Amino acid sequence: MDVKIWPEIIKSAAQSDMGILALMILVICLLALVFFRKATEHIRLGIFLLFFAGVVLFTVSAVSRMSNKGQAITADTVQTPGAVATSTREIGGIWYADVQYTWGTSAIEQLDFTVDGERVVGTASFGTAPRQIVEGKLSKDQLYFLTNIDSTDGTRTFQYRGKIGESQIQFTLDNKGDPPTTFFAARTVAEARKLRQK
């Protein structure tokens, strides 16, 4: 065999646990052959058993690590709908909500989100008038932002907390003056109306 390809073989083998195991076995065999060929039979047997135990322990460790890696991949692959929506930033864009406010009025509201990492900007309408999103944050499947409305009584702040699902966002709206309003946002007005009727 050409000696020049040995570095390639070693490099390829070193890229996996089983390849390293094969290299270890070869090295141990060569060392045993060189250092213990003139030793007594009892010494050679003892050294062989020590080497063999080391290889067995390494094999068990390597197989265990490979098994754990497989479990980790499975856990990451199986995501909740909210995690899928968040990880792919599918909340970006326009959403609609058929909102029945706790103080008696109702409206089809429009929410327009732009996501930049964990930061969310855009607008959320209130009484069909768009309001600028302030302090928008996205964390896993949770969405949070504020909107402000200037009135004769001063500035009123509305706090939105949303739980992201696969095709909808469930919001709780709190303006610190009236009971909280809960509603669902969807990608179309028709879907938003269906969610309100549920």
| Structure confidence at residue 110 as a pLDDT band (50, 70, 90) | very high
| pLDDT above 50 (res 74) | no
* Contact of 179 with 98, CB cutoff 8 Å: no
Q: What's the pTM value of the predicted model, to 2 decimals?
A: 0.55
Average pLDDT over residues 57-66: 70
Could you confirm whether domain 83-197 is CATH 2.40.128?
Answer: yes
Cα 135 from Cα 143, distance rounded (Å): 11
Nearest to 113 by CA among 144, 83, 150, 141: 144
Give the number of residues written for the chain.
Answer: 198
State both tokens at 28. Answer: 């141990």
Q: Mapping DSSP to helix (H, G, I), strand (E, B) and coil, where does residue 153 land?
A: coil
Residue 84: its pLDDT value, please? 45
| pLDDT above 80 (res 77) | no
State both tokens at 30. Answer: 């060569």
CA 111 to chain centre: 25
| Structure confidence at residue 11 as a pLDDT band (50, 70, 90) | low
pLDDT tens string 112-171: 999 998 999 999 999 889 999 999 999 989 999 999 988 777 888 999 999 999 899 999
What percentage of the chain exceeds 70 in pLDDT?
A: 70
Q: Which residue ranges make up each domain of the chain?
A: 3-77, 83-197
For residue 144, how many other CB atoms are within 10 A of its CB? 14
Residue 193: its pLDDT value, please? 92
| Structure confidence at residue 22 as a pLDDT band (50, 70, 90) | low
Question: What radius of gyration, in Å, describes the C-alpha atoms of the chain?
Answer: 32
